[in-house]
Amino acid sequence: MRKGFLILTSVVRKGFLTCIFVKEADLTTQRARGGRVTIHDLARVAGVSVSTVSKALNDNGRMAAETRARIKRMAAEIGFRPNALARGLLSSRSFTIGLLTNDTYGRFTLPVMAGISDALVDHGVSVFLCAIEDDPALGKVHVDAMLDKQVDGIIATGKRIDRSLPVDLAGLPVPVVYAFTAGASDSVTFTADDAQGAALATAWLKKLGRRRLVHITGPEDFVSVRERASAFASEAGEGGSVRYGVWSESWGHQAVADLWSAGGPLPDGIFCGNDQIARGVVDALRERGVKVPEDVSVIGFDNWEILAEQTRPPLTTIDMNLKELGREAGLMVLALAEGRPAEPGLRKLPCKLVVRQSCGGAQTN
Amino acid sequence: MRKGFLILTSVVRKGFLTCIFVKEADLTTQRARGGRVTIHDLARVAGVSVSTVSKALNDNGRMAAETRARIKRMAAEIGFRPNALARGLLSSRSFTIGLLTNDTYGRFTLPVMAGISDALVDHGVSVFLCAIEDDPALGKVHVDAMLDKQVDGIIATGKRIDRSLPVDLAGLPVPVVYAFTAGASDSVTFTADDAQGAALATAWLKKLGRRRLVHITGPEDFVSVRERASAFASEAGEGGSVRYGVWSESWGHQAVADLWSAGGPLPDGIFCGNDQIARGVVDALRERGVKVPEDVSVIGFDNWEILAEQTRPPLTTIDMNLKELGREAGLMVLALAEGRPAEPGLRKLPCKLVVRQSCGGAQTN
DNA sequence: GTTCTATGAGAAAAGGTTTTCTCATATTGA
DNA sequence: TCAATATGAGAAAACCTTTTCTCATAGAAC
């Protein structure tokens, strides 16, 4: 065996065993790199230059079809995968985006994240998740770290459309898309269509023959609360009334107690601002001996499955299609990163009705 | 003004306005780069070479203290931040790790993620979140993408310690740390100390004077269920019995119904396998007219705040310190990435008791 | 046999940073 | 004044990939 040389790998090609000799120094280099195989290794093994390898793998340049195929085959054999850092340095595309979020429990962020990831993984894009927990300093640290890492874009997401993240994303050198959080007026923003969702819920109650409708919802300072209440009011007509409160089960309980002790005509349909309130309402009604859905239909909002499915009876509710929203936001930020233009403005995505048992009515939809 | 030159920026230094002239070609380059300022721009502005700038900013090499300070000041002025891609290419450290997860709802993953991020953001490390949803193909795609991006390490996390992710992480060129999921025997794995947590819960019930104890928990094929049950049994002594079921509220309801209709002596303390079961138990007891905590103390497991706080009364429960677990896993993967050695094996982190009202007893702890 | 074209493949530069090596100048001592 | 040393700063290579440009060879046409 040649002195100072070692066998790197042996390849069986066309039935012949070919031994590849590499200088010991090269192997040492390779060790230091963590055993990663580079395009140079592949070129050496294939007996061509690195440029030829690159062109072969990227279907660029002119070359004999046989050469291209052979190089591709050997690349697969030795497990060559191009270093995305080097690639990104050259192309100024890192195939990486950042997801900035405010939402600690992830009730909104996780489905959105799932949609983003789902849409972008096919494009080779990975997602940095940065939870900033309402802390401006932490937000800045994360944004700086993302920019240092040359993210191709940023998606900012929060819990409500009428508050912005505690960090300034204007004037960044990368595109920013907002989801469920407020952006500048000339930015691209995605949110759920609250009015349409509320109308959907109210129409469903009416379709089931309910006429004395109440909307028990969250704090009036949420713009989405006002939009839903307004849509509810116009859909419900004369019979509809709205009660504002907080986003908790106990508010649902209390609202039922208030209604049933008020002495007026009792509602036969209740549209709740979220599934937690609905859970409280359903529990309170059961405790009063009011039958759901026989006496009263209750519909929630959010389709927070882990809660909606465990309620007795399971909640019919409105789903904001958060995963789809994430998917669209992901594709949008990708488009912007690739220089494709997009019209700024607020995009409202439709909600859908999820029928379980708390309203009665057809299970099929 | 000089032809072919443009003002890049103007700097006020020592009271003098200094105009920096750059060739138009350079500016065009700059534009194409997305307006990012490089070390070359900084070197030009500071009137030194790039190597001097690099050494100044990294506190390397010999140079006049005044020069170093001046370069640092100008770097801050023009907002220079080194390109992490270029840096990573050279150092083979990307300051990036991947978090692989199985857990769609993120009940476990999100706190763990928060801990990881919290521990690593100070070290300039960002985290790729990859949800693979039990899909081996998707898992491979994500792992490959992370490796291409030269992550410094991977943290694998799941929902239970006795199942592994549907993707092979052995023999990867980067360190892997497991949290709440099974790894190879020679790997570093973190999990909560189920036995200690269960003992803590049981001891708390006993300390409150409860003697007829029941443990209502999840499926017996979970190793954590068996460990908790075993610890419960030895702590509870003669009076303790265990009922296995599923992880749902309705199982909590049913278990209470079973117990109260069995005709034997009724329990005065119930330790539940998770907060959902505890919620079901508490609701069922209230509906039977059994007072919690006066007649029966109920304690949960998980400290899933959004559920525990909304239960009536709010749940006393065991917290698995998931954020701390994430923090330790993050620091561990960082240590391994930096070549510091670590002993393989399973590390069990202690749980803590969170006192609310479902057991009675002191609010202070 | 000679010139032109087509084809295949290699050389080199670029991307932004860090590190090592080299060089020039200033300072010290004799 | 000259040599030796200390000091500050620049040049160049390296990391890995892609792309453009150039070159060599084979075949075709005259």
Question: Does the structure show a pLDDT above 90 at A23?
Answer: no
Low-confidence winner among B1-10, B218-227, B316-325, B327-336 (lowest mean pLDDT): B1-10
Question: Does the structure show a pLDDT above 80 at A79?
Answer: yes
Last residue of a domain, one of A42, A59, A82: A82
- CB B80 under 7 Å to nucleic chain C: yes
A266: three-class secondary structure by DSSP: coil
Residues B225 and B281 in one domain: yes
Residues A179 and A215 in one domain: no
Taking phi over 0 as left and psi of -120 to 50 as alpha, with beta for the rest, A167 belongs to beta
Mean pLDDT computed over every residue of chain A: 89
Per-residue model confidence (pLDDT) at position B21: 41
Task: Report CA(B22)–C1'(C14) in Å, whole number.
Answer: 20
Residues B172 and B185 in one domain: yes
Residues A264 and A345 in one domain: no
Please, which pLDDT band fits residue A104 given cuts at 50, 70 and 90?
A: confident
Mean pLDDT on B310-318: 96
Q: Do A149 and B84 touch (CB under 8 A)?
A: yes
Return the nearest residue to C14, CA–C1'.
Answer: A90
Task: Give chain A's domain count.
Answer: 3
Question: Does the structure show a pLDDT above 80 at B1?
Answer: no
Higher pLDDT, A31 or A36: A36
Per-residue model confidence (pLDDT) at position B363: 53
CATH number of the domain where residue A226 is located? 3.40.50.2300
- CB A84 under 7 Å to nucleic chain C: no
Higher pLDDT, A107 or B72: B72
Q: Is residue B210 assigned to a domain?
A: yes
Residue percentage of chain B with pLDDT more than 70 = 89
A317: three-class secondary structure by DSSP: strand
Please, which pLDDT band fits residue B35 given cuts at 50, 70 and 90?
A: low
Parallel, antiparallel or unpaired: strands A176-179 and B176-179: unpaired
Mean pLDDT on B198-223: 97
Q: Is residue A358 assigned to a domain?
A: no
Per-residue model confidence (pLDDT) at position A28: 36
Mean pLDDT on A84-91: 95
Residue percentage of chain A with pLDDT more than 90 = 81
Tens digit of each residue's pLDDT (9 = 90 or more) over A229-259: 999 999 998 889 999 999 999 999 999 999 9
Higher pLDDT, A61 or B319: B319
Please, which pLDDT band fits residue B269 given cuts at 50, 70 and 90?
A: very high
B222 phi/psi in degrees, rounded to 5: -75, 130
> Where would I find the H helices in chain A?
24-32, 39-46, 50-57, 65-78, 84-91, 109-120, 136-148, 194-207, 223-236, 249-262, 275-287, 305-308, 322-337
Residues A271 and A253 in one domain: yes
Residues A98 and A187 in one domain: yes
A64 phi/psi in degrees, rounded to 5: -60, 135
Q: Do B34 and A173 touch (CB under 8 A)?
A: yes
Question: Does the structure show a pLDDT above 70 at A9?
Answer: no
Question: Does the structure show a pLDDT above 50 at B9?
Answer: no
Please, which pLDDT band fits residue B104 given cuts at 50, 70 and 90?
A: confident
Query: Which among A35, A128, A306 is the nearest to B126, CB-wise?
Result: A128
Nearest-angstrom CA–CA distance, B196 and B211: 19
Please, which pLDDT band fits residue B239 given cuts at 50, 70 and 90?
A: confident
Question: Does the structure show a pLDDT above 80 at B50?
Answer: yes
Tens digit of each residue's pLDDT (9 = 90 or more) over B136-161: 999 999 999 999 999 999 999 999 99
Q: Is residue A306 assigned to a domain?
A: yes
Domain assignment of residue A202, given as a range: 194-320
Last residue of a domain, one of A22, A51, A82: A82
Residues A169 and A222 in one domain: no
> Which stretch of DSSP H or E encloses residue A155?
strand A153-157
Per-residue model confidence (pLDDT) at position B241: 95
Query: Which among A33, A114, A144 is the nearest to B131, CB-wise?
Result: A114
Q: Do B106 and A104 touch (CB under 8 A)?
A: no
B319 phi/psi in degrees, rounded to 5: -105, 130
Residues from chain B contacting residue A104 (CB–CB below 8 Å): 110, 114
Please, which pLDDT band fits residue B34 given cuts at 50, 70 and 90?
A: low
Q: Is residue B362 assigned to a domain?
A: no
Q: Dihedral (C-alpha) A277, A182, A325, B155: value to the nearest 10 degrees?
A: -90
Q: Do A126 and B146 touch (CB under 8 A)?
A: yes
Q: Chain D positions under 7 Å from a protein CB?
A: 7-12, 14-21
Mean pLDDT on A4-15: 33
